[in-house]
Amino acid sequence: MIYSNSLIYIELHESSIPWLKIFTHAPHKEFSHCSAKEKIMIWDALDLIEKEMLIYFKPAKINIASFGNMLPRLHWHIMARFENDEYFPEPMWGTKQREGFVLETPMEPFLEKIKRELDSHW
């Protein structure tokens, strides 16, 4: 877990690309089940993470998804995508297109920045 407050928490997903996930502490199944405060926190966190990924990693695209089919619990995926990552242009759940992608930018400074920004935001 890289961040937590009373309503949401954020995890790093083990992957070759920068990939964070946002969860509510309450086990909501759908976004419409969230309180207004939870919705605002989710959108603020999505916005902040996307902007910081764009600045820090300079990806070709940011993917944001909320499926919850395998885990029927509300959560959001935020992924920085690169034209040479293993799945691009497929989704990360799609067919692997190539081998050998290595993220050239270290994750730790990005994660520290996200923690600082979220702590100061709330």
**Structure confidence by residue, pLDDT tens digits, 61-106:** 999 999 877 778 999 999 999 999 999 999 999 999 999 999 999 9
pLDDT in the model for residue 71: 76
Residue 50 pLDDT exceeds 90: yes
Q: What is the mean pLDDT of residues 16-24?
A: 97
Straight-line distance from the first to the last Cα atom of the chain, in angstroms, rounded to the nearest whole number: 17
Residue 108 pLDDT exceeds 90: yes
Name all domains of the chain by residue range, CATH numbers in brackets: 3-121 (3.30.428.10)
pLDDT in the model for residue 72: 80
Complete edge-to-edge strand list for the sheet that includes strand 8-12: 3-4, 8-12, 19-24, 75-81, 61-65
Residue 24 pLDDT exceeds 80: yes
